[in-house]
Amino acid sequence: MTGIPARMIWALGVTQIIGYGTLYYSFGTLAPAMAAEFGWSQAWVFGLLSASLLVGGLVAPLSGRLADKYGAAQLMTGGSVAAALALVLAALAPDGIVFAAGLVAIEVASAFVLYATAFAALAQASPGGAPRGITHLTLIAGFASTLFWPITAALHDVFSWREVYLIYAVTNLIVCVPIHFAMAHGHRRRAAQRRESPATVALVPPERQRGALLLMLLGFALVGFVSSAITVHMVPMLSGLGAGEAAMVATMVFGPAQVLSRLLNMQFGRGLSQPVLAIIAALALPAGLAVLLLTTPWLPGVAAFAILFGLGNGIYSIVSGTLPLVLFGSSGYGRRLGMISASRLIASAAAPFAFSVVAGAASTAIGVAFAAGVGVLAVGAFVLLWSVLAASAEAAPAAREA
């Protein structure tokens, strides 16, 4: 099995769009109504989301281990059921405590149905075909925000936030559960073929894998920190820099730039190694922030920032699935994806608060410079990772000659 059927990628693409759209992107649109009903500030509601993301991050390694043990497709079937039940719990919550429990349940369920588990499903279907499958999948799923921000807004014009969540629960049940169940059935039928198909070979030798894994996790955590800090604060950040009128341009350009990065990677990225792509993704974030600081409030400069930042985020979503597969092979891939998700989600949960503290204590420009500095550290982590891989490649011929 050297390739992944297109129907599997498209089916996963549909469930990823629905998963991200209903479990994540819908929240920002519905949060003001949630806060008003429970008598909370919006900051408190978003604080609950951050705490829930943190819990989801802590659960992610378990999700990865279960995907390795029982199969990612089977895990996603149960995860979709759990996602629907979690949405129902939040929608029917009689008070704030039960609502908070529902948010936590939503993020825990997300750990079993979103990118990390979907990437593992592709690798289990075809280890050799997974990198290209991941690129195609992220291209399709990249439209989740583009679709679900307006869909959620349109539904909320007619229904309450509770009813929207119930609609989304039904959507997960009638669309995602059958797709994942069918994939799991096919997973069992192909079990013999998978046993005969060799696992992909790790590029990093066993004695260097621990250090390489730590560098990779550090790099992804730092990139996740920068991405979360800036995307959450995008509009107020630009206003604080005196470019508030350009905020709409930045938000309009950011999403298409993410999709463009995936198209460019499909067309031109085949000749680049995954560590080099990781460096490019990490470098694009501080580069975009530097452009913003140097040119704001100049409109073309704000657009250039949004393009660079969107390109970096788009490549990052691909590399987070392909890099561990290339470096460490397909054996234990789900566990490593879970570790990446945990490091990213924990950093992402802390980032908006850290950025607001720095910006509030000093200035918005200092906060942006702080985020850019974290991005430079991410570049350094991936450069060190690339050097470990290069040293391993140089040592291999010497070992064979000896």
For 348-393, write each residue's pLDDT tens digit.
Answer: 888 888 898 899 899 999 999 999 999 999 999 999 999 988 876 6
Of the pLDDT bands very low, low, confident and very high (cuts 50, 70, 90), residue 99 is very high
Q: Do domains 6-196 and 206-401 have the same CATH topology?
A: yes
Q: Which of 107-121, 143-157, 248-262, 347-361 has the highest mean predicted lDDT (pLDDT)?
A: 107-121
Q: Is the model more confident about 90 or about 346?
A: 90
- pLDDT above 90 covers what percent of the chain? 59
User: Would the CA dihedral through 284, 285, 286, 291 be positive or negative?
Assistant: positive
pLDDT in tens, 172-194: 999 999 999 999 987 655 554 55
Q: Is the pLDDT of residue 127 over 70?
A: yes
Fold for 6-196, please state it: Growth Hormone; Chain: A; (1.20.1250)
Tokens of 85: 């039940």
Arithmetic mean of pLDDT over the chain = 88
Mean of pLDDT values over 310-315: 92
41/14 Cα distance (integer angstroms): 34
Helix pair angle (177-189, 115-125), 10° resolution: 30
> Which bin fits 159, alpha (ψ -120 to 50), beta or left (φ > 0)?
beta
pLDDT in tens, 250-299: 877 887 888 888 888 777 666 678 899 999 999 999 999 999 999 988 99
Give the range among 43-47, 156-160, 188-192 with minimum mean pLDDT: 188-192
Question: CATH for 206-401?
Answer: 1.20.1250.20
Of the pLDDT bands very low, low, confident and very high (cuts 50, 70, 90), residue 34 is very high
pTM above 0.85, yes or no: no
Of the pLDDT bands very low, low, confident and very high (cuts 50, 70, 90), residue 201 is low
Of the pLDDT bands very low, low, confident and very high (cuts 50, 70, 90), residue 399 is very low
- pLDDT above 70 covers what percent of the chain? 92
- In the chain, what are the domain boundaries? 6-196, 206-401
341/259 Cα distance (integer angstroms): 21
